[in-house]
Structure formats: structure tokens, C-alpha cells
Amino acid sequence: MKQFFTILSFLLFANINAQSIADFENFSLPENSYLKDASPEDAFTSGEIRLPNKFTDAGSFTFWEGWVISNIMDTITPGFTNEGASFAGSGFNESAHYAVSYAPIKSVIKLSEQASGTAQISGLYVCNTSYAALSMKEGDGFAKRFGGETGNDPDYFYLSAKKWLNGDLSQDSIIFYLADFRFADNSFDYIIDEWTWLDLSSLGVLDSLQFEMYSSDIGTFGINTPTYFCVDNITIDIVSSVATSVTRSKVSVFPNPSSDYINLSEEQSGEYRIYNYSGQLVLEDSHTNRKIDISSLSQGMYYLLFNSGKKQSYGSFYKQ
């Protein structure tokens, strides 16, 4: 019950009031190039997103870790010299710019100071780099060809996403396969070659998002597969406190428990939002009567917030 009141208190005094998308089109790059140095800052910023960048100039050569911003369209040149290219040949929806991560161990996407701890990354688009994809497809001097000589090797290459919040790293993770050759029927084996949506909404509010990369191709010094991937159109839902004076009251919900519909004890016009036991928004819509369809929800405990101007009602119910 303590968790119930903690979540309910948060929901009563907060609401998601804005959404922003970091698409990296705020950068100006020469054609077919990538920006490797974020100096004088330590990160590239787009909207509410900060992508950490570490750039080193050693005189005869330069190198970077973290993130770069790119508009390279080369999908056919193999090897390290093409490290900054998306295997889709552009950004999401044929846009110019996207971000590329090089993550020997971990890669982090940070929220801005304004959004940190008060926003969630609901999702982003992911794609392989040409460097990693062609390495998996053909093999190279360091990494194997996925599937091996027979095509039957159960190879894989995936991302694991976790959130940081208030100095704690979540135990929950979301997995995304950039390549998967574990199928009994080899015709199902794939290497991601287009922008693919990764839903991160179940992670909830966060300070930053941490990615780790895993591959079946492991050598003496770790992963042999090039540990690169691309992201674009990172979608952020921003939560802010409710500053206006709002009258709040409890509303009865029936039948409770219910499997298909719930009814409110009084007829109201406005908007409702339903949250799960973790405080994540799972259903929202406008409402002009007492009946709400909950048939799409999974079994469990839910909290209802109803807003009609300066009046806010709340209640809870159990979905069978």
C-alpha cells in the first residue's frame, strides 16, 4: 500500500505536458562527413538529449569514444574507414543527420538538466553502421562472418538498454537485436539494414540511458564485432509539476475488479489517463460519459486520473 500512495501522490502533482524529438538536424555538416569533436563542450546536444563525446588528437591521428553526428550515406565500403555511416544510407525517414555510437564497453544517452529525472525516453530509431553490418555479413581481419562457413553458426549481436535514475542503475533491461542468426531456418537470419523503432517507454522516468553491446563473436580482448550502432529521432516525454490551483477529489470506480469496462461514479467531461503499478502511462483518451474501455490492459492494479479544467479526480481499480 505504501507504493500505491507514493505513485498516486506523484501522479496527482505531475503530468506529461510536452514531447520533444532529438533528430540532430540542428547540426550543420559538410556533405558525406561526420562530426567527431564536440569541443568546447563534452557532449553533442539536440533538444533535451546530450550525447557524451571524448575526442583525442594525438597529432598523427585522432580517435573518439561515445558519440558522433553523421550524414554519411556509404553502405558499401567495408572496414574502419567507414565507421561513421548508417547502413540505411541516411537518417530516419531519409533525413540528413543521425548519431553514431562507438561503445567498447558502455554508451550513454543523457537527458538535459531540465529533463533529467522528470522525463522518459519513450523510444528511438536504431540501425546498424555499415562498418558493423558489412563485418557481420562478410567477415574481416578481426571478426567472423556471421553464420560461419555453413551458415549454421548461431551468431548474434544485440543492445541491452538500462536506465539510470538518482544514481541507481536499474536491473530491468530492454534487448534489441542488431543481428540474429540463431534460427533453425537460416532464411530467417537477419542483419538490421533499416531504421527500426525501439520502444523504451517501460523504463519510465530516468536521468540517462545506458547501452551495452553483446556479440557471439568473442576474442581474447573482448567483442570482435565492431561495437558501433546508430540512433535517430529520440522521443522524450517531459513531465512537469502542476502549478495551477486544482480541486482534487476521489472518484469511485466500478465494477472493481473488472475485465472489460469501468464506470465512474459521476458523469464527467474531460481527459483521463490510466497508469500501471510502476507509474507508467498505459492508456489515455477524452471522455464524455461514465464508461471507460479497459479491455486492452493486462491483468493488474491501475490508477486513474481524470482532468476536467480545474477539477481533478482520481481512483484505482484492478483489471482481471
**4 belongs to a structural domain:** no
Burial of residue 169 (number of CB atoms within 10 Å: 0-12, 13-18, 19+): exposed
Across the range 252-279, mean pLDDT stands at: 80
- State pLDDT tens for residues 32-42: 999 999 999 99
**163 belongs to a structural domain:** yes
Asked if residue 253 and residue 236 are part of one domain, the reply reads no
* C-alpha–C-alpha distance, residues 109 and 114, integer Å: 15
271: domain CATH number is 2.60.40.3080
Asked if residue 194 and residue 298 are part of one domain, the reply reads no
223: domain CATH number is 2.60.120.1350
Closest CA to 292 of 313, 266, 272, 270: 272
Name the band, by pLDDT with cuts 50, 70 and 90, for residue 245: very low
What percent of the chain is modeled with pLDDT above 90?
A: 62
pLDDT of residue 241: 45
- State pLDDT tens for residues 118-131: 899 999 999 999 99
Asked if residue 232 and residue 113 are part of one domain, the reply reads yes
Asked if residue 193 and residue 49 are part of one domain, the reply reads yes
- State pLDDT tens for residues 62-113: 899 999 999 999 999 999 999 999 999 999 999 999 999 998 889 999 999 8
